[in-house]
């Protein structure tokens, strides 16, 4: 199945604060009682929004115009529910930028540890649906959040070939920050090969050959 | 780059090919499905005119939406949406020729409880399910991943996943854990130490004498919560404890010669003595204690008798109604829940019943307490051992099998800002069904103690 190659986009951005935003909050379990993904956008962050009485970022009409959401660290943790990705995408999000966590090493000769910005299952679900997840350093994250706060001027240009996010009109002119993502996800989005089902099927009888060597399948 | 670990061996064996982008196409030896993450996946393959490639390696059950009170099990369910999900699963399994352990079937129950007890889960497999607690099956020395709906469609159609090979971190828990410290406490301590994001990009190998001392159900509790630490999956090397369990008259385990051959093969899967890991963490098992969460993610925990840290996250404290520096023990609880894929197995119920009997406990008057067996088989065996009578006599509600109060997709939910002592795996805001409901994760033993005292307590306080 042909899927669209990611084309560089320039979109407005808004900030959703809070580390460790889990998928139970993104789409509470009661909305998983469904057999399609249709309509999930109505209930994205349902409980968080109810508690903030209209002040939640997802209840701000100007944010609905934004295609980029800036999150903090460990976005999408918890349940594997792909409904979370579906709800965000259908609401209008095309790109999520989140913050890595950098843990300095005790040993000065060793590099610091960088913890990815997104929970792994969430990121996999996102790529499988063409939703772009980008990691930025804590320092660059601060810049982006400041830019997003400048309401009328918070455009960001996303370039996946160069792995850059360019903030237009940040104090004086343009600020460009680097972003990262696993190379496999980047490849799939750039080449339009994020249809993993089709890719898997292309292996043909290599699948059966692999199965034939599994002792537990021979024993059944 | 890890070498010589069980993870490396099983990964290599199941590798169909490596793609130019670095991902591995992995064959999935066992695909488990349930009613929540399968409807859209079946629709995806139906729309593409595809069939299930290995229906004989695909097994389904219904668990998340199941009401656990007998009168509510009458069909059609009061909840029309839940009814639709079950009907859809039945139709899909029928159309695609997949074995469904349906309501009324002796094999029905929580998917991560029935896999092992039926002997579907074995060492050396790659196991996938559209459910993050799939890591449970790693207890047998297998690679068990939680996957999303689109990946479920991919496995249905191709029996394969495309995945980046994670790094492997060995977590060695040495020594002997003190009395009253269970597998649940061990994993809560590990997540507290490494954090909820610490495992991103890693598979966890749990090793060391304290892990080897766990029985299979304890190892399942441990591996179950690997995802809460951010890990891709978690596993324990198979040993005689594993083989004894698997060989114990399980429906899907062969007998005689083929079984002996399997055991010989399983023995070869263990991590080599000279294996190399990407990271190693050591924990002294003898320093562990019964744990309880105080916050809104599974990493925010303390020993039950400790004080909440002074630098505890303010937002989490505000939600939970706690203060930094305070004791948790002694906090009044409203609900007590024993169940879930984490702690809904026979040994969990036996241990809980044992404590009830030993101390002559009764559920405190202001507490609503439920015991939800993880499967029909667990329920049957518990009744045969008269554990149900122990629980009912003590004032617990004795339920049918299902996911129940773990996650609010069925009638079992918290009301308002009730505080629940729970053996489940997540304490996120709103997780148990009320947007202001509060969850304290702990072991079954601690839930029993808390139910009896009407406040957060460990067994040592009885």
Q: What is the CATH number of the domain that holds B74?
A: 3.30.499.10
pLDDT digits (tens, 9 = 90+) for A96-120: 999 999 998 888 888 888 999 999 9
Coil, strand or helix at B126: strand
Tell me the two tokens of residue B426: 């997540």
- Which residues does chain B have with pLDDT short of 50? none
- Residues A44, A27: Cα–Cα separation, whole Å: 5
Residue of A nearest to B432 (CA): A29
Alpha-helical regions (H) of B14-106: 39-47, 80-95
Is the model's pLDDT at A86 over the cut of 60? yes
**Interface A-B: count of C-beta contacts within 8 A:** 201
Q: Which chain A residues touch B149 with a CB distance below 8 Å?
A: 82-83, 125
pLDDT digits (tens, 9 = 90+) for B58-101: 999 999 999 999 999 899 999 999 999 999 999 999 999 999 99
pLDDT over 70 for what percent of chain B? 100
pLDDT over 70 for what percent of chain A? 96
User: Both ends of chain A: CA-CA distance in Å?
Assistant: 34
Is the model's pLDDT at A2 over the cut of 60? no
What dihedral angle (degrees, nearest 10) is formed by the CA atoms of A63, A66, A70, A71? 50
Is there a single domain that holds both residue B172 and residue B312? no
DSSP letter assigned to residue A96: E
Q: Is A202 on the interface with B (CB under 8 A)?
A: no
**Mean pLDDT score of chain A:** 93
Q: Which chain A residues touch B14 with a CB distance below 8 Å?
A: 210, 214
Containing structural domain, residue B120: 7-163
Is the model's pLDDT at A151 over the cut of 90? no
pLDDT digits (tens, 9 = 90+) for B237-259: 999 999 999 999 999 999 999 99
CB nearest A215 (choices: B148, B198, B262)? B262
Please check whether residue B201 lies inside any domain of the structure: yes
Tell me the two tokens of residue B240: 């005689």
Is there a single domain that holds both residue B375 and residue B457? yes
Is there a single domain that holds both residue B141 and residue B113? yes
| Predicted local distance difference test score (pLDDT) of residue A15 | 97
Ordered by start, the domain boundaries in chain A are: 9-194
CA distances from A176 to A69, A147, A156, A173, B166 (A): 17, 11, 9, 10, 31
Is the model's pLDDT at A1 over the cut of 50? no
- Residues B461, B442: Cα–Cα separation, whole Å: 15
| Mean pLDDT, residues A179-208 taken together | 95
Q: How high is the ipTM of this complex?
A: 0.94
Q: Are B280 and B209 in contact, with CB atoms under 8 Å apart?
A: no
Mutate to test the interface with A, among B21, B59, B99, B163 (most CBs of A within 10 A): B21
Is there a single domain that holds both residue B414 and residue B450? yes
DSSP letter assigned to residue B110: -
| Predicted local distance difference test score (pLDDT) of residue A153 | 72
- Residue B111: CB partners within 8 Å, gap ≥ 6? B32, B33, B34, B61, B63, B129, B131, B341
Q: Which chain A residues touch B124 with a CB distance below 8 Å?
A: 215-216
CB nearest B430 (choices: A1, A28, A73)? A28
- Where residue A150 falls among pLDDT bands split at 50, 70, 90? confident
Q: How far is B288 from chain A (nearest CA, A)?
A: 25
Coil, strand or helix at B376: helix
Is there a single domain that holds both residue B32 and residue B141? yes
Interfacial B residues in 326-385 facing A (CB < 8 Å): none
- Where residue A171 falls among pLDDT bands split at 50, 70, 90? low
Is the model's pLDDT at A58 over the cut of 80? yes
| Predicted local distance difference test score (pLDDT) of residue B302 | 98
Q: Is B258 on the interface with A (CB under 8 A)?
A: yes
CB nearest B164 (choices: A101, A119, A182)? A182
Query: How many structural domains compose chain B?
Result: 3
Is the model's pLDDT at A136 over the cut of 60? yes
Q: Are B372 and B404 in contact, with CB atoms under 8 Å apart?
A: yes
- C-beta atoms surrounding B261 within 10 Å: 14
| Predicted local distance difference test score (pLDDT) of residue B389 | 98
Is there a single domain that holds both residue B342 and residue B415? yes
Is there a single domain that holds both residue B278 and residue B296? no
Question: Which CATH number does A9-194 carry?
Answer: 3.20.19.10
- C-beta atoms surrounding A181 within 10 Å: 21
Mutate to test the interface with A, among B125, B150, B230, B425 (most CBs of A within 10 A): B150
Q: Are B242 and B270 in contact, with CB atoms under 8 Å apart?
A: no
């Amino acid at each position: 199945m042909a899927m669209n190659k990611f084309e560089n986009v320039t979109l407005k951005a808004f900030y959703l604060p809070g580390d460790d935003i889990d998928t139970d909050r993104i789409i509470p379990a009661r909305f998983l009682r469904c057999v399609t993904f249709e309509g999930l956008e109505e209930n994205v962050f349902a409980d968080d929004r109810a508690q903030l009485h209209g002040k939640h970022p997802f209840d701000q009409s100007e944010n609905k115009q934004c295609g980029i959401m800036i999150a903090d660290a460990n976005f999408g943790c918890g349940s594997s529910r792909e409904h979370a990705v579906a709800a965000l995408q259908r609401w209008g999000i095309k790109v999520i930028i989140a913050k890595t966590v950098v843990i300095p090493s005790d040993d000065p000769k060793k590099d610091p540890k960088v913890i990815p910005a997104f929970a792994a299952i969430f990121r996999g679900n996102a790529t499988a649906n063409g939703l772009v997840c980008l990691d930025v350093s804590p320092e660059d994250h601060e810049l982006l959040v400041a830019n997003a706060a400048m309401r009328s001027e918070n455009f960001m240009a996303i370039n996946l070939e160069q792995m850059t996010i360019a903030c237009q009109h940040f104090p004086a002119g343009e600020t460009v920050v680097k972003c990262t993502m696993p190379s496999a996800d980047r490849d799939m989005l750039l080449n339009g090969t994020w249809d993993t089902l089709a890719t898997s099927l292309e292996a043909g009888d290599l699948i059966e050959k692999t199965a034939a060597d599994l002792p537990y399948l021979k024993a059944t | 780059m890890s070498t010589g670990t069980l993870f490396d061996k099983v990964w290599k064996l199941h590798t169909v090919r490596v793609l130019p982008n670095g991902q591995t196409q992995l064959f999935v030896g066992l695909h488990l499905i349930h009613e929540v993450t399968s409807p859209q996946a079946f629709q995806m393959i139906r729309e593409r005119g595809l069939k299930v490639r290995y229906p004989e390696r695909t097994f389904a059950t219904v668990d998340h939406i199941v009401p656990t009170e007998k009168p509510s099990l009458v069909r059609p369910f009061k909840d029309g949406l839940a009814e639709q999900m079950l009907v859809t699963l039945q139709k899909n399994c029928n159309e695609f020729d997949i074995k469904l352990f349906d309501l009324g079937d002796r094999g029905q129950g929580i998917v991560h409880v029935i896999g092992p007890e039926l002997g579907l889960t074995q060492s050396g497999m790659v196991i996938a399910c559209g459910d993050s607690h799939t890591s449970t099956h790693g207890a047998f020395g297998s690679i068990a991943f939680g996957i999303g709906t689109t990946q479920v469609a991919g496995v249905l159609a191709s029996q394969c996943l495309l995945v980046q090979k994670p790094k492997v971190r060995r977590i060695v828990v040495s020594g002997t854990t003190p009395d009253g410290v269970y597998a649940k406490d061990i994993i809560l301590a590990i997540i507290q130490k490494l954090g909820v994001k610490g495992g991103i990009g890693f598979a966890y190998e749990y090793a060391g004498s304290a892990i080897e001392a766990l029985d299979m159900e304890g190892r399942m509790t441990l591996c179950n919560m690997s995802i809460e630490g951010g890990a891709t999956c978690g596993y324990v090397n198979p040993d005689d404890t594993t083989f004894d369990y698997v060989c114990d008259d399980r429906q899907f385990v062969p007998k005689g010669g083929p079984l002996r051959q399997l055991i010989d093969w399983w023995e070869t899967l263990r991590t080599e003595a000279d294996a190399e890991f990407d990271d190693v963490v050591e924990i002294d098992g003898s320093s562990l204690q019964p744990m309880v969460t105080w916050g809104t993610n599974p990493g925010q925990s303390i020993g039950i008798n400790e004080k909440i840290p002074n630098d505890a996250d303010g937002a989490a404290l505000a939600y939970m109604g706690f203060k930094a520096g305070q004791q948790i023990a002694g906090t009044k609880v409203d609900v007590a829940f024993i169940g879930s894929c984490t702690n809904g197995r026979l040994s969990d119920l036996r241990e809980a019943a044992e404590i009830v009997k030993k101390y002559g406990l009764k559920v405190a008057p202001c507490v609503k307490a439920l015991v939800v067996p993880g499967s029909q088989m667990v329920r049957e065996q518990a009744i045969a051992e008269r554990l149900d009578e122990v629980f009912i006599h003590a004032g617990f509600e004795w339920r049918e099998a299902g996911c129940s109060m773990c996650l609010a997709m069925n009638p079992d939910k918290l009301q308002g800002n009730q505080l629940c002592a729970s053996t489940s795996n997540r304490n996120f805001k709103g997780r148990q069904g009320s947007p202001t409901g509060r969850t304290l994760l702990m072991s079954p033993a601690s839930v029993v103690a808390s139910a009896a005292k009407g406040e957060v307590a460990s067994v040592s306080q009885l």
